[in-house]
Amino acid sequence: MSAADQLAEGEIGVWAAPGRVNLIGEHLDYVGGPAMPIAIDLATTVKARRRSDGRVRVWSAISEGSVEFGADTAPGDVKGWGRYVAGAVWSLAESGRTTGGADLVISSDVPLGAGLSSSAALECGVGVALAGIEGWEVDPIEMALLCQRAENAYAGAPTGSMDQLASMCGSEGHALLIETASTPPEVKPVPAHWVEDGFALLVVDTRAKHSHAGGEYGKRRAQTEELATLLGLESLAAAPPDAVLKVEDPELKARLRHVITETQRVRSATRALAARDWAQLGQLMTASHVSLRDDYAVSAPELDLTVEAALEHGALGARMTGGGFGGSAIALVEAARVDAVSTAVTEAFTRIDFTPPRTFVVAPSQGAHRIS
């Protein structure tokens, strides 16, 4: 009997949690800065049924067999993909919400490891499914922070809170202005009208693999902590523009310059979004990419090539999205030019023997919710 058939026998519910694309404000969610992501129309679904024996058993379409662990799991118990699920179970238990047990069946149309936060979609999907079957009321921002803890302390990826906040708080037709300076973070939906105005947000999954659990992401975090200490600041995003003059080391100076200019770009992008000034938003996106490539040094050849080819073929702006070192880039494009830009990017990849990318259009979508 298949996993899905087994679940059909008992009392079940189905929940979905989306992936995300960040429009602008990259690598700022761990320095107290702003970010402006959207939840996308690709999601992870979790079919869930209660158990009463304190065990959690989980199946995923990506893998044969199931992963099983106790509701009292702790970091280190579960390795591989199951650690994102066990992390959510553990983090909820740490907050006083220990599940009595659950069977969970996972499937997803968020591409894995593409910088579109399939990990956050999985954690948040599991989080809302467990809350659903147990009858726990959990505020979306609190759930996002619990899932971030799962990612950091159980799955071992030192990421900020943006991904889980986007997956939990997404709103159809809106971008989310996230302010991580306050505790808890603030999330404000901002109307995003580019579709009505004839534009599209094109995603290019470069298929270059990124890994946040790897060293570079952690290295950037450590550098921002060093900078905050050096400047006597609690949150680096609050650094005034002239703070760069106080930093001698050229690498640290460049990292700080990204934090300062990217924070300013989010403020300008918020105004551009409100004014429906797509040319301006596009320019800010491209400037963000240049800053991430040159000052923060988190881009990859595939991302740079995507941005270059998209701009050459009429995109208003383009940038890497997410943590970088591979993953996906986005381009703001006239709807009528989506095919031309996709083709141009694909051709540019093929010309130099990069694996052909996957391209698709995404729209701002609803956050984690129950489907049935």
Asked if 112 interacts with ligand ADP (CB under 6 A), we say yes
Q: Does 324 bind ligand ADP (CB under 6 A)?
A: no
237 in Cβ contact with 35 (< 8 Å): no
Read out DSSP for 158-223? ---SHHHHHHHH--TTEEEEEE-SSSSPEEEEEE--TTTTTEEEEEEE------TTSHHHHHHHHH
Question: Is residue 117 involved in binding ligand ADP (CB under 6 A)?
Answer: yes
Smallest separation (angstroms) from Mg ion to the CB of 174: 22
184 upstream amide cis, omega within 30 of 0: yes
Lookup: tokens for 254: 């460049």
Q: Does 119 bind ligand ADP (CB under 6 A)?
A: yes
Window of 117-125, 224-232, 239-247, 335-343 that interacts with ligand ADP by CB under 6 A: 117-125
List the one residue from 50, 57, 212, 258 that touches ligand ADP (CB under 6 A).
212
Interacting residues toward Mg ion by CB under 5 A: 117, 119
147 binds ligand ADP (CB under 6 A): no
Nearer to ligand ADP, 155 or 309 (CB): 155
Q: Is 62 one of the binding residues for ligand ADP (CB under 6 A)?
A: yes
For residues 197 and 232, give the distance between their C-alpha atoms in angstroms, rounded to a whole number. Answer: 45
Structural contact between residues 54 and 101, judged by C-beta atoms closer than 8 angstroms? yes
Nearer to ligand ADP by Cβ, of 84 and 194: the residue is 84
If binding is defined by CB under 6 A, does position 84 make contact with ligand ADP? yes
In the bound state with ligand ADP, the residue whose beta carbon lies nearer, of 50 and 212, is 212
Tokens of 252: 């640290």
N-term to C-term CA, the chain: 22
Question: Both tokens of residue 28?
Answer: 């700022």
User: Annotated active-site positions, please?
Assistant: 163
Instruction: Give yes or no for residue 252 binding ligand ADP (CB under 6 A).
Output: no
Pairing of strands 102-108, 34-50: antiparallel
Q: How far is the CB of 115 from ligand ADP (least distance, A)?
A: 5
| Binding-site ranges for ligand ADP (CB under 6 A) | 44, 60, 62, 81, 84, 106, 108, 112-119, 122, 157, 212, 327
